[in-house]
Amino acid sequence: MTRDVMVSVSGIHTVDGESGDVAVVTSGIYYKKNGKHYIIYDEFQEGLERPIRCTIKLYDRKAEIIRGGDVRAHMEFEVGKTTVNCYSTPFGEIILTISTFDMEVREEEDSVRAEILYSLEMNSVKTSDSRVVIEARSKQVREEDRDGE
């Protein structure tokens, strides 16, 4: 897989039977070191002047999502475990409790894809059952796919 990738992060959050989708597609950097997949990209959010630097680490039934900048967080997902994480925003801090039910990471020649199923609590109140899909795909392959259409 190439270092330059297209990153797709999509999430479905279900609250009281109602689903809401969130998606980010952007360019980023990928590398693999000591058996861990690293995906790094900048995310732009409305109302913030600077981008948020996101680093995703994927490995053996565990994932970490680290956000830096005006919005800071270090969220950990580990199958069968519950983790407590702090999510800092310009408006204050939120305590996130994440219970991870399942996670699958698939590595192919030109991509890596992870799917994580978890529940989320904010400040001790359950807010959603969630599914996030993270994919990094070589830019070169993306361009070849486009040329073949």
| Model pLDDT for residues 46-69, shown as the tens digit of each residue | 877 888 999 999 998 899 999 998
The answer to whether residues 133 and 8 touch, using CB atoms and an 8 Å cutoff, is: yes
Supply the CATH number for residue 24's domain. Answer: 2.40.128.20
Would you state the structure tokens that stand for residue 50, as one six-digit string? 């600077």
Number of domains in the chain: 1
Please determine, for residue 97, whether its predicted confidence score (pLDDT) is greater than 60: yes
Residue 47 confidence (pLDDT): 76
Would you state the structure tokens that stand for residue 81, as one six-digit string? 């475990």
Instruction: State pTM to two decimals.
Output: 0.87
C-alpha–C-alpha distance, residues 120 and 86, integer Å:
13
| Mean pLDDT over each residue of the chain, to the nearest integer | 89
